[in-house]
Chain A
Amino acid sequence: MEALLKRIWGDISSLPESRKIALMYWTVAIVLFGAQLIFGLIAAIQYVNPDFLFDVLPFNIARMLHINAMVVWLIMGFIGGIYWLLPDETGTDVVGASLGKIAFYLLTGAVSVVVLVYILVQTGKGEFFTIWFINEGREYIEAPRWADIGIVAVMGIIYFNVLATVLKSKRITGLLGVLLVDLIALAGLYMAGMFFTPNITLDQFWWWWVVHLWVEATWEVLVGVLMGWALMHVLGTPRRIVEGWLYLEVLLVFGTGILGLGHHYYWIGTPEYWLGIGGFFSSLEPIPLVAMIVHAVYDAGMHKLHTVNRPALFFIFLQAFGNFFGAGVWGFMHTLPQINLYSHGTQMAASHGHLAFFGAYVATNLVLIYIALQQIRSPEGPILDSRTWKIAYVGMIASMVGMVGALLVAGFAQTFFERAVGGSTWQDYILTQMHPWVKIPMFWRLGFGVLFFLFYLVLVYDILTIGRKAKEPSVEVKPA
Chain B
Amino acid sequence: MKDFSWLEVTVASLLFILVIGSLWTRGRNWLDPVFWKRFAIVGSLVMFTFLWILTFDTLSKTRIGTDRVPSPDVINYKITYEYDPQKGYYMPVIHKDKKEPLFGKEVSPQEAMELIIKGKLVIQSRACMNCHTLLGNGAYYAPDLTKAWLDPKWEKIMIPATESETKEEAMVKFLMNPEKYATWTRRMPNLNLSEEEAKAVVAYLKWMSAINTNGFPDHFGESKLAKF
Hey, which bits of chain A sit against chain B, CB under 8 A? 43, 46-47, 50-51, 54-55, 58-61, 63-64, 122-128, 130-131, 134-139, 142, 174, 196-205, 207, 240, 243-244, 247-248, 250-252, 254-255, 258-259, 261, 264-277, 280-281, 341-342, 344-347, 349-350, 414, 417-433
* Chain B residue at minimal CB-CB distance from A60: B130
Q: A125-B197, A137-B129, A425-B223 are in contact. Are A267 and B214 (CB under 8 A)?
A: yes
Q: A131-B125, A201-B68 are in contact. Are A259 and B47 (CB under 8 A)?
A: yes
The verdict on B116 contacting chain A, using a C-beta distance below 8 Å, is yes
Q: Which A residues are in CB contact (< 8 Å) with B141?
A: 43, 46-47, 59-60, 63
Q: A126-B118, A137-B123, A251-B43 are in contact. Are A50 and B186 (CB under 8 A)?
A: yes
Lowest 8 A-B CB distances belong to which pairs? A276-B6, A137-B124, A126-B122, A267-B216, A423-B223, A247-B36, A422-B225, A424-B217
Q: A123-B191, A201-B62 are in contact. Are A254 and B126 (CB under 8 A)?
A: no
* Chain A residue at minimal CB-CB distance from B37: A247
**Distance from A311 Cβ to chain B, minimum over Cβ atoms (Å):** 29
Verify A244–B151 contact, CB threshold 8 A.
Answer: no
User: Most chain-B CB neighbours within 10 Å: which of A134, A261, A267, A342?
Assistant: A267
* Chain B residue at minimal CB-CB distance from A255: B43
Interface members, chain B 1-19 (any A CB < 8 Å): 3-7, 9-10, 13, 17
Q: How far is the CA of A408 from the CA of B66 in the complex (A)?
A: 38
> 27 interchain pairs (CB within 8 A)?
A58-B131, A59-B141, A60-B130, A63-B141, A124-B125, A135-B124, A135-B125, A198-B113, A204-B137, A205-B55, A240-B33, A247-B36, A250-B43, A267-B213, A270-B62, A271-B3, A271-B68, A275-B6, A276-B10, A277-B6, A341-B215, A420-B218, A423-B219, A424-B147, A424-B217, A425-B151, A433-B186
Cross-chain contact of B59 among A202, A346, A421 (Cβ < 8 A): A202
Verify A261–B36 contact, CB threshold 8 A.
Answer: no
Cross-chain contact of A63 among B131, B148, B183, B192 (Cβ < 8 A): B131
Binary interface profile of B, 113-147, with partner A (CB < 8 Å = 1, else 0)? Answer: 10011111111111111110111111111111011
The verdict on B48 contacting chain A, using a C-beta distance below 8 Å, is yes
Verify A269–B135 contact, CB threshold 8 A.
Answer: yes
Verify B125–A134 contact, CB threshold 8 A.
Answer: yes
Hey, which bits of chain B sit against chain A, CB under 8 A? 3-7, 9-10, 13, 17, 31-33, 36-37, 39-40, 43-44, 47-48, 50-51, 54-55, 57-59, 61-64, 68-69, 72, 113, 116-131, 133-144, 146-148, 151-153, 157, 183-187, 189, 191-192, 194, 197, 200, 208, 211-226, 228
Q: Which A residues are in CB contact (< 8 Å) with B118?
A: 126
Cross-chain contact of B125 among A54, A126, A342, A429 (Cβ < 8 A): A126
Cross-chain contact of B62 among A202, A248, A255 (Cβ < 8 A): A202
Verify B225–A428 contact, CB threshold 8 A.
Answer: yes
**Distance from B14 Cβ to chain A, minimum over Cβ atoms (Å):** 8
User: Most chain-A CB neighbours within 10 Å: which of B57, B69, B187, B223?
Assistant: B223
Q: Which B residues are in CB contact (< 8 Å) with A420?
A: 218
Cross-chain contact of A427 among B62, B63, B113, B228 (Cβ < 8 A): B228
Q: Which A residues are in CB contact (< 8 Å) with B39?
A: 247-248, 251
Q: A269-B211, A273-B6, A345-B138 are in contact. Are A427 and B223 (CB under 8 A)?
A: yes
Q: Which B residues are in CB contact (< 8 Å) with A204?
A: 134-135, 137
Q: How far is the CA of A60 from the CA of B129 in the complex (A)?
A: 8
**Distance from B91 Cβ to chain A, minimum over Cβ atoms (Å):** 12
Q: How far is the CA of A59 from the CA of B139 in the complex (A)?
A: 10
A204-B137, A247-B36, A280-B6 known, 20 other contacts, Cβ within 8 Å: A137-B126, A137-B129, A201-B211, A243-B33, A247-B39, A254-B47, A255-B43, A258-B50, A267-B136, A267-B216, A268-B136, A269-B69, A274-B6, A347-B140, A419-B217, A420-B218, A425-B153, A425-B223, A426-B143, A427-B226
Q: Which B residues are in CB contact (< 8 Å) with A346?
A: 140
Q: How far is the CA of A258 from the CA of B31 in the complex (A)?
A: 25
* Chain B residue at minimal CB-CB distance from A62: B130
Q: A139-B139, A425-B143, A425-B223 are in contact. Are A258 and B51 (CB under 8 A)?
A: yes
Q: How far is the CA of A348 from the CA of B6 in the complex (A)?
A: 26
Verify A271–B58 contact, CB threshold 8 A.
Answer: yes
Verify B51–A259 contact, CB threshold 8 A.
Answer: yes
* Chain A residue at minimal CB-CB distance from B225: A422
User: Most chain-A CB neighbours within 10 Å: which of B33, B39, B142?
Assistant: B33
Q: A127-B125, A259-B13, A430-B184 are in contact. Are A268 and B3 (CB under 8 A)?
A: no
Q: How far is the CA of A264 from the CA of B135 in the complex (A)?
A: 10
* Chain A residue at minimal CB-CB distance from B200: A126
Verify B120–A200 contact, CB threshold 8 A.
Answer: yes
Q: How far is the CA of A273 from the CA of B130 in the complex (A)?
A: 29
Cross-chain contact of A137 among B127, B218, B220 (Cβ < 8 A): B127
Q: How far is the CA of A54 from the CA of B178 in the complex (A)?
A: 13
Verify B121–A126 contact, CB threshold 8 A.
Answer: yes
**Distance from B56 Cβ to chain A, minimum over Cβ atoms (Å):** 12
User: Most chain-A CB neighbours within 10 Å: which of B6, B48, B58?
Assistant: B6
Cross-chain contact of A273 among B3, B148, B197 (Cβ < 8 A): B3
